[in-house]
Structure 1
Amino acid sequence: MVWTGGWVARRLGVRLVDTGQTDLRALAGLALRLDTLRAHLLVSSVLGKYVPAPPAKAILAGEALGRAVAACLGEPPRCWFAETATALGHLVADVLDTLTRK
């Protein structure tokens, strides 16, 4: 079962929009926080921080993000990428390092 935050989407009238590149609903869902100015919150379904995620799914997501970052930066990557989610940041760094060594 994939957690999507459908309850929040229905109550607030917000939704995740597919950009055509990635199905955001497969990576994140909506949640609420106690902040009237910013009540909506995107919660990752691949990090395993707030919503449990299988390790393989988290690793695949990190590797895919690393390849996407590398494509944006060029080959070999010419600058560093930092992500607030430490495990995801490490996975992206691993992919960038691997691409640089080829």
Structure 2
Amino acid sequence: MGHHPGADAQRSLQAGLYQAAWKSRDDWQPGSGGISPNNFGNPDLKWEQTREVDAGFDWTMFDGRIGLVGDYYKKKTSNLLVSRPISATSGFTSFTDNNGTSRTAGSSWR
């Protein structure tokens, strides 16, 4: 039986998701330059967190001729990174936020 809290280290955050960035532009009018936002950053982003519980058993009799193996798992991931729509008047159509949750549970028998 196990319980595994913590951050999902297998998923990396791209710098552009939490930090706003700017890019130089010279295509508005010939001979004039400028800068414009390249992305809509979100400095409040957090790591996704996963909690998981696994339990199982292995039963045999008659020197292993008859047996049963059972497993049960339950997993909840919170702070999932999701793309949320925003007004296009901001210059962007969406931004990334920690607004998602995922739950899975199941069992396996052999």
Normalised to the residue count of structure 2, the TM-score between the two structures is: 0.20
Normalised to the residue count of structure 1, the TM-score between the two structures is: 0.21
Instruction: Please identify which structure carries the higher strand content.
Output: 2
Instruction: Please identify which structure carries the higher helix content.
Output: 1
| Larger RCO, structures 1/2 (Cα 8 Å, 6+ apart) | 2
